[in-house]
Structure 1
């Protein structure tokens, strides 16, 4: 068997062990995803107003809220900024 084949089998075995909760050398990364709808409602904004104020495509916002998509790490960080500093985030975007 080729080296590639051996590596592929070893990788799949490690992935299966990780999925079973067994200790492995696999690295994991957790991205905290904010509740976008709750954030928007807390700010008292409609979907259109929130998307417009923070320059988020409306279709993207709707996808997040409806659970069809999840914000990636960068979008999650941006949403955290909006959650903690909504006025500053909006002001920074108006200045740009």
Structure 2
């Protein structure tokens, strides 16, 4: 038997679920996962530097200063705006740089 205070409540209304876009997050920081542009020395290949970092688990530094160990396909992630802005600034002062860095 249920006891009540004599007041009946009307039908319960539920609020619609708030749907937020699914954003992959970095577990350590909670920041959204992004593709970064790797800092390289003249003549150094960014692709080979990333491959080596994946194999050996060594951290890389991005143009924006973010340090990480690559583990995801960067083509599946949005490009870091800070890295893009820095790269665009380099392009403005250096002839011969592509619209986007080489893979």
* Shared fold, TM over 0.5: no
Q: Which has the higher helix share?
A: 1
Q: TM-score range by the shorter chain?
A: under 0.3
Indicate the structure (1 or 2) with the bigger Cα radius of gyration.
Answer: 2
| TM-score, length of structure 2 as denominator length | 0.25
